[in-house]
Amino acid sequence: MKIICLRKMLTLEELKTLDDSTILRGADAEGNSYLVQMLRLYREIFGGACSWCEKKHLEYIQRLRNYKEKPRKMQKKNKYFELKKGTLIPVAGTSEAYSDKNMTDADAIKILKGNKNAIALFEKYPKDWEVMLEKGLPKEKEEQGIKTLETDNTDLKTQLEAKTKAELKRLYPDLSLSGNKSKFIATILTHEETKQE
């Protein structure tokens, strides 16, 4: 008979509320070491951690505290792809990560194009997901009450980033667009999301 022990894992939010000495020497209510949990979380997000390198543990804690999930409001209804609960996928070269809260179907397809084995990280996905990698997201019917997703596999943010600030101002004359181009785009995306809801 095999005994499986399911331990609650420390979340990024919980880690940020604990001080360094508690993480290094403390344990949760069930007696699970915060250090072990922090190292497990670090490995899950960044891919490797030395459990014997005490000098690096504070560095790991700081890096986790500075870590941010990729911030974006996303489509919530009728998503084709949903990550398993608690799954984070780091965005290469940044301190950001995808979670189920901020990942769009287009993001999921981009990840799966890079690594088909990543499908194991998804709790929900369509049967024809491999076809979607080749053809993009299908155009859905508005009368079904589902938001239209274009097959060209480019989302609004990508389209906006390809335009100049002057073009964005011409396209959205009713919006108060100030600051740099990334602020313009954030304002436009927020505006578009509220229009769809």
Q: What is the pLDDT of residue 188?
A: 77
Q: Please return the burial class of 105, using the count of CB atoms within 10 Å of its CB with bins 0-12, 13-18 and 19+.
A: buried
> Model confidence over 174-187: pLDDT tens digits?
777 667 777 777 77
Strand partners, 146: none
| Full-model pTM | 0.38
Residue 142 has pLDDT above 70, yes or no: no
First to last CA, the chain: 51
- Give the distance, in angstroms, between the CA of residue 159 and the centroid of all CA atoms in the same chain: 20
* Domain boundaries, given as residue ranges, for the chain: 12-66, 68-153, 156-197
Q: What is the CA radius of gyration of the chain?
A: 21
Least confident segment among 1-5, 59-63, 123-127, 140-144: 140-144
> Model confidence over 30-52: pLDDT tens digits?
888 889 888 888 877 776 778 88
Distance (Å, rounded) from C-alpha 51 to C-alpha 54? 7
Distance (Å, rounded) from C-alpha 122 to C-alpha 83? 4
Q: What is the pLDDT of residue 112?
A: 92
Q: What is the pLDDT of residue 8?
A: 61
